[in-house]
Amino acid sequence: MKKFIAMTGLLLCFFQGNAQFFSGERILNNENFDKQRWSWGYFLGFNTYDLDFDLKEYTPNLPFQDKQYNVEKTIGFNVGLIGNLKLNNNLDLRLEPGVSFNRRNFQLLKADQGTIREINATYVHIPLLLKFSANRLNNFKPFVVGGISTSLNLSSNENNPDDNSANQFRMTTNTYYYEVGFGVDLYFFYFKFSPSLRGVFAINDELIRDNNPESIYTGNVEKMSSRGIFLNFTFQ
């Protein structure tokens, strides 16, 4: 997380060091870019994922009823393509299919040794988003973005017959999300560069329960869902 914050700080420094985008009369770069009905591009970026747990009400035959899970987050990598449809001067519809790679370390607290699970995830992530932009000011245009998405977790272990008793942590293959974020379009001579920060929140329960209904890993979990932060750098 510290690395993620540091990268965000560098991004802010970039904006500070390029204040010419924000004020003064300047020659417009790529003046006709936003007049296109369709535009295309690609993005590179970073991500960090967490897991959010909703626990069942107290049940006498299940141990560890209080919050018992710890998730160690790491920095992952995103890459993908962009298709943009201009609806009007301030509204665009975007499809951003991509792949994200991430690792989380899941640990059950208040238990014996051997309760740490390394969760490696490779997601095929497909968001459908609406992008609301302010009017362009010189070579700068801020925006907010929001929408829905789905992902295919290629490392889910959903159909694996082994569970946590055999050191296998299982999640659903398909997940659905809502997303919201903000960013800025920066117009350069040959391309448009758009850094953005986005929150991604799973809607459905992603946990595959252990075969034993009294499992200390999954027995008292009502719902488990992913939360993520994406820092993307888009080139169009």
Q: Which CATH number belongs to the domain containing residue 51 in this structure?
A: 2.40.160.20
Instruction: Tell which residue, 198, 211, 199, 214, has the closest CA to residue 170.
Output: 211
Q: What is the DSSP letter of 61?
A: T
Q: What is the DSSP letter of 56?
A: P
pLDDT of residue 41: 96
Residue 148 domain-assigned (yes or no): yes
- pLDDT(182) > 60: yes
Residue 178 domain-assigned (yes or no): yes
Residue 25 to residue 31: CA distance in whole angstroms: 14
Residue 27 domain-assigned (yes or no): no
Residue 182 domain-assigned (yes or no): yes
Residue 31 domain-assigned (yes or no): no
Q: Which of these ranges, 47-56, 121-130, 211-220, 226-235, has the smallest mean pLDDT? A: 211-220
Q: Distance of CA 196 to CAs 14, 15, 133, 221, Å?
A: 13, 12, 13, 34
The pLDDT tens digits of the residues spanning 93-110 come to 999 999 999 998 888 776
Residue 30 domain-assigned (yes or no): no
Question: What is the count of structural domains for the chain?
Answer: 1
Which has the higher per-residue pLDDT, 235 or 166?
A: 235
* Cα torsion angle, 70, 116, 126, 149, sign: negative
Residue 18 domain-assigned (yes or no): no
Residue 5 domain-assigned (yes or no): no
Average pLDDT score over the chain: 85
Residue 15 to residue 184: CA distance in whole angstroms: 10
- Provide the domain limits for residue 98: 39-235
pLDDT above 90 coverage of the chain, percent: 54
The pLDDT tens digits of the residues spanning 11-45 come to 544 444 444 444 455 688 888 888 899 999 999 99
- pLDDT(209) > 80: yes
Instruction: Tell which residue, 17, 4, 25, 55, has the closest CA to residue 217.
Output: 55
pLDDT of residue 152: 95
Q: How far apart are the first and last CA of the chain?
A: 29
Report whether 8 contacts 195 (CB < 8 A).
no
Q: What is the DSSP letter of 220?
A: T
The pLDDT tens digits of the residues spanning 53-94 come to 888 765 555 555 555 778 888 999 999 999 999 999 999 999
Q: What is the model's pTM?
A: 0.80
- pLDDT(113) > 50: yes
Tokens for 25, please give them. 């009369």
Count the neighbouring beta carbons within 10 Å of the beta carbon of residue 232. Answer: 22
